[in-house]
A = this chain, B = another copy of it.
């Protein structure tokens, strides 16, 4: 076994955004999460039970990582939220649709045996909402995966 360089954990996932107040309103007012950030802050953090989801201007994020700004296209990263049942997935997509959220893929049976769809946030970050009967969730919603 190699010595581990990093403990098996991630602190923060930061999504680059074009319009931070718009992204704050989406995650706070549409999705329904809480943040201590004001719409005038330069960065926003949403604590998600053990990890933090950040939002930061995409050009600033690129500069911070000493990387050229994004040119478009698929980001090559997706986020996923596992719900507790197929019915819960359907309810979530119904609520998202009611609130005018862009549904990228309607929930459907997946070839891996689950049930899943995708929605996009205002910057095109893709969220899968899935039911996966092979991954049990604990009471806090954390997947029990080995």
Contact = CB atoms under 8 A, between A and B. Distances in A.
Contact of A61 (B49, B58, B76): B76
A11 B75 contact: no
Size band of the interface chain A makes with B: 35 or more
Given A52-B145, A70-B73, A32 B3 contact: yes
How many copies of this chain sit in the oligomeric assembly? 2
Contact of A50 (B49, B80, B123): B49
7 contacts: A8-B49, A9-B141, A10-B81, A14-B80, A65-B118, A65-B128, A73-B73
Interface of A: 1-16, 29-34, 36, 45-54, 58, 61-62, 64-82, 92, 95-96, 99, 104-105, 110, 118, 123, 125-126, 128-130, 135, 137, 140-143, 145-146
